[in-house]
Chain A
């Protein structure tokens, strides 16, 4: 089968690889129809995530057709069209039983701190991902859902991560009616978080980025008030000025490990890999939140330490909330929001790249060329 393969920092290619096999009785093999490249994949692509092995296949957002099922699979049949959450999880451990699917204890031998994720390095379990013709889907009775007949494929693939995560990020902000919500990062996750904040009754939604074209999308897709941090000497002071010097009630970090805005921090973390991630956006979040406010961290950081301003978070009495998203837990509500038009995920898709050209897809998304917001990979 053809699969995207990592060759080293900033380098990927398509290779002929052995087709995945059923390795456990509850496995399924899915023939991928549509996949996506996530902002998280860029952390791998840039060589930031420890134990990212050359030869591994990325991709944790995908939909497809069930090609084969293991002997214990009951809920799926060959030929079913499925959407697969980015989490790999057993459904039966201490954490899964409590709804913490992203924190499953039974699927990642490499790290206890991290759950299982498709195509996301050995630090999340060493599974190949869905930017390939075929993919092994463990616990087929637990993760995948059949795609409802009314749902568009592009919406379905976005629900496997970006949309669920953005919505989850807004929820972790515990938004009250009338709250001022600040979203850092206008990528797919930030855009959906901003849009979702309104559904939860936000009184004002502010989005910050440095890419004008993404801020334009934040105004149009998420009805947000936007600011470009490069146009302000100190963006945190600006946020204070526009919030009566109190700060935002809720701040959502939708940037993560490769945050820009401070060259030194970015280089130390993203280029030299000497921190778990560039803490610029997270520190802005801590500084821009009002005392007693909530910071919701959706941005992904590596497992190593980062220079986070913990003292301020403590002195301000902030609530810090964060996790990988438990995707399937969000789906019933998100399906409703799609049906009644409150969320239109496919509006953020800008590029559709055939698998054979995936190297260009990575570069365009990574370098933010050509107005790229969300690239899909077409199989």
Chain B
């Protein structure tokens, strides 16, 4: 097959496409698409009736990226920092910019620590986690877990066995951390 200057022919003509596909070509005009041009200066279009938004009160110290000049006028207040995971997160925000892998890797570590801390505190608070209910695994039975997967050539079946590993990983990491801490404490007492 020779490589030529022509655009290869399409299987269907515009007329055929228009007949087959409702609305074919109604947004053909590229200048008349909602995301075009990418930047369109139109501050009155947003509904904002302020030049600078009021500041949401900072009722407790709010962690923030070192790349920001200030605490943003509005911010989320879900799940404030607490415990060891909170300390790791606070350190990560205070010490590393978003450009540093350490920033994100510490946050991911804190996420795993958080799972262990939160599971233990839920237990203490009398609201223990129920892994069966929380993983929704019962739907494997009610929603065709077997027939949805087997014999369908799905690419994700190959790593299915890893899902329980991911669920358990915080426990392995957390358990190892506890063992290390206890051994260090014992060693200190013996010394």
Contact = CB atoms under 8 A, between A and B. Distances in A.
Interface of A: 7-13, 15, 23-26, 46-47, 50-57, 72, 74-75, 88-92, 96-101, 105-113, 116, 122-123, 125-128, 138-139, 141-142, 168, 171-172, 174-178, 180, 196, 198-201, 203-204, 210-212, 223, 228-231, 243-246, 260-261, 263, 266-267, 271, 273, 276, 302-305, 326, 329-330, 332-333, 337, 340-343, 358-364, 367-372
Interface residues on chain B, size class? 35 or more
A53 B79 contact: yes
Question: 5 tightest CB-CB pairs across the interface, nearest first?
Answer: A91-B48, A126-B76, A342-B23, A363-B136, A91-B46
B43 A359 contact: no
Residue of B8, B26, B72, B140 with most chain A CB atoms under a 10 A cut-off: B72
A90 B35 contact: no
B188 interface: no
Given A204-B11, A360-B142, A109 B68 contact: yes
Contacts of B22: 341-342
Contacts of A88: 74
B30 A110 contact: no
Contacts of B122: 7
B49 interface: yes
A56 B118 CA distance: 12
14 contacts: A11-B134, A13-B130, A54-B114, A56-B79, A92-B50, A108-B72, A110-B63, A125-B75, A139-B53, A196-B27, A212-B153, A271-B165, A359-B136, A369-B145
Contacts, number: 320
Contacts of A175: 30
Contact of A246 (B8, B63, B77, B152): B8
A201 B159 contact: no
B8 A244 contact: yes
From DSSP, what is the main secondary structure of chain B's interface residues?
loop
Contacts of B46: 89, 91-92, 96-97, 101, 142
A82 B163 CA distance: 37
Contact of A171 (B35, B130, B145): B35
Given A303-B104, A369-B148, A112 B68 contact: yes
B48 A141 contact: yes
Given A11-B167, A92-B52, 13 more contacts: A11-B134, A23-B77, A50-B107, A54-B115, A91-B48, A198-B25, A231-B153, A271-B165, A364-B139, A367-B148, A369-B145, A370-B143, A371-B148
Contacts of A303: 98, 104
Nearest to A326: B35
Contact of B75 (A108, A337, A370): A108
A369 B140 contact: yes
A201 B155 contact: no
Contact of B93 (A110, A141, A210, A261): A110
Contacts of A46: 166
Contacts of A128: 76, 78
Contact of B136 (A92, A125, A364): A364
B187 interface: no
Interface in B31-89: 33-36, 38-43, 45-54, 56-57, 62-65, 67-68, 71-79, 85, 89
A13 B133 contact: yes
Contact of B162 (A171, A245, A267, A329): A267
B46 to A, nearest CB: 3
From DSSP, what is the main secondary structure of chain A's interface residues?
loop
A94 to B, nearest CB: 10
Contacts of B74: 24, 88, 90, 106-107, 116, 138-139
B108 interface: yes
Contact of B39 (A26, A98, A109, A271): A98
Contacts of B186: none
A303 B112 CA distance: 17
B60 to A, nearest CB: 12
B15 interface: no
B143 to A, nearest CB: 4
B27 A201 contact: yes
A261 B155 CA distance: 6
Contact of A174 (B12, B30, B78): B30
A200 B114 contact: no
A267 B23 CA distance: 41
Residue of B7, B78, B159 with most chain A CB atoms under a 10 A cut-off: B78
A340 B135 CA distance: 41
Contact of A370 (B72, B148, B159): B148
B28 interface: yes
B190 interface: no
A88 B76 CA distance: 10
Nearest to B32: A333
A13 B22 CA distance: 42
